[in-house]
């Protein structure tokens, strides 16, 4: 039993950290630009597809990951210049609609470009082994540990960026009061473009890293978008700390909840316990969000009031 719990805890940590990569971008964009970007998941999908296409071209995993991050970041910056800058001054409703439209456009464009078939990314041999944990009891894939390490590194990097650098100071100033920050001489427009490029790059990182584990397919953006939104709502929109706490909470509840629910259902001899357990775990996450908002209508760590 114990190895199973440890395995699910590590899985939860891995899922949570990947969610954090998306949630960090979402929460920065919302915090500083006051913009709801439903199409954030599409950037994740596009990043994964670019990585898969590059991988098929060059058969080099690392090159595919790095190039996909750069290209998606470029796309994010471009989108900010062309579209998001205009949406920023509009109502939240218009933002929801326009970014919903972007999801449709992105999904169909990917379908046209790559066909409806999912793509796959193969791991290099050096990353595809397993590691023995707890003696011989648990053989955990090396690659998943690597994902955890990358996720932690990015979280630390973002912490340093936001709290210790001049850029981070501008970001925090912009989040707490955009107009005042601009008045005090912070050049806010290039900052927006930077945030968007950063958020898009993080999306691509998550998409490319998860590529070898999941099938790279058209619906993947929406599958992760809703949990990512739940994360930032639970954490408090605009708060980086909230995004990290929320992401880990959601990741853990999803994987440990799945384990618990599946076990519970099996003990009642319910058929199809595994899939049912997964759905129930997703419900638990939605319930958590509802409960958090019930007691704290602005999330756990409100960035501003």
Partner 1 sequence: MSEPLPQPEKSATPLGTGLPSPWAALAIAILLAAYPLVMNALGQTFYIGLGSRVLILALAASALNLALGYGGMVSLGHAAFLGAGAYTAAILAGLGMNQAWVVLPSAFAAAAVLAGLTGAISLRTRGVYFIMITLAFAQLFYYLAVSLPSLGGDDGLPLTERSKLPGLRLENDLSFYYFVLGTAALVFFLLYRLVSSRFGRALVATRENERRMAAIGYPVFRIKLLAYTLSGGIAGLAGGLLANLSMGVTPHTLTWHQSGILLVMTILGGSGYFWGGLTGAAIFLVLEETISAYTEHWNLALGLLLLFIVLAAPNGVMSFTGFRRGEKA
Site residues, partner 1 (CB under 8 A): 30, 36, 83, 86-87, 90-94, 96-98, 100-105, 107-109, 111-112, 222, 226, 229-230, 233, 237, 276, 279-280, 282-283, 286-287, 289-290, 293-294, 297-299
Query: Alpha-carbon distance 173 to 54, whole Å?
Result: 38
Q: Which is nearer to partner 1, 36 or 45 (CB)?
A: 36
Taking the complex as a whole, the smallest distance from the CB of residue 279 to partner 1 amounts, in Å, to: 4
Query: Alpha-carbon distance 192 to 180, whole Å?
Result: 15
Q: Which is nearer to partner 1, 121 or 175 (CB)?
A: 175
DSSP state of 237: T
Q: Which is nearer to partner 1, 96 or 142 (CB)?
A: 96
Q: Which residues contact 236 (CB under 8 A, 6 or more apart)?
A: 242, 298, 299, 300, 301, 302, 303
* Angle, CA 156 vertex, CA 33 and CA 18 arms, to 5°: 70
Taking the complex as a whole, the smallest distance from the CB of residue 22 to partner 1 amounts, in Å, to: 15
Write the CA distances from 119 to 45, 84, 156, 276, integer angstroms: 11, 29, 31, 27
Taking the complex as a whole, the smallest distance from the CB of residue 125 to partner 1 amounts, in Å, to: 38
Q: Give the largest Cα separation in the chain, rounded.
A: 65
Taking the complex as a whole, the smallest distance from the CB of residue 108 to partner 1 amounts, in Å, to: 4
Taking the complex as a whole, the smallest distance from the CB of residue 72 to partner 1 amounts, in Å, to: 19
Query: Alpha-carbon distance 156 to 150, whole Å?
Result: 10
Q: Which is nearer to partner 1, 85 or 127 (CB)?
A: 85
Q: Which is nearer to partner 1, 31 or 141 (CB)?
A: 31
DSSP state of 121: -
Q: Residue 216, by phi and psi: left (phi above 0), alpha (psi -120 to 50) or beta?
A: beta
Taking the complex as a whole, the smallest distance from the CB of residue 93 to partner 1 amounts, in Å, to: 5
Q: Which is nearer to partner 1, 35 or 147 (CB)?
A: 35
């Amino acid at each position: 039993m114990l190895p199973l719990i440890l395995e699910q805890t590590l899985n939860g940590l891995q899922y949570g950290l990947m969610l954090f990569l998306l949630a960090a971008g979402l929460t920065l964009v919302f915090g500083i630009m006051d913009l709801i970007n439903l199409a954030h998941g599409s950037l994740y999908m596009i990043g994964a597809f670019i990585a898969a296409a590059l991988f098929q071209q060059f058969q080099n995993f690392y090159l595919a990951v790095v190039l996909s991050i750069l290209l998606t970041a470029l796309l994010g910056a471009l989108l900010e210049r062309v579209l998001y800058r205009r949406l920023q001054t509009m109502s939240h409703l218009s933002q929801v609609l326009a970014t919903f439209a972007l999801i449709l456009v992105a999904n169909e464009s990917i379908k046209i470009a790559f066909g409806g078939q999912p793509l796959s990314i193969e791991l290099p041999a050096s990353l595809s082994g397993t590691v023995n944990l707890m003696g011989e009891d648990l053989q955990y894939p090396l690659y998943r540990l690597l994902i955890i390490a990358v996720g932690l590194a990015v979280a630390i990097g973002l912490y340093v960026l936001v709290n210790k650098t001049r850029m981070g100071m501008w970001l925090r100033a912009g989040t707490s009061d955009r107009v005042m920050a601009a008045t005090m001489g912070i050049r806010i427009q290039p900052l927006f473009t930077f945030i968007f490029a950063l958020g898009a790059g993080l999306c691509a990182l998550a998409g490319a890293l998860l590529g070898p584990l999941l099938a790279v397919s058209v619906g993947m953006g929406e599958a992760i978008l809703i949990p990512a939104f739940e994360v930032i709502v639970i954490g408090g929109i605009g708060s980086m700390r909230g995004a990290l706490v929320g992401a880990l909470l959601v990741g853990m509840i999803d994987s440990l909840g799945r384990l618990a629910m599946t076990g519970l259902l099996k003990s009642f001899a319910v058929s199809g316990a595994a899939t049912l357990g997964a759905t129930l775990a997703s419900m638990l996450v939605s319930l958590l969000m509802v409960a958090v908002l019930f007691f704290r209508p602005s999330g756990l760590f409100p960035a501003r009031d």
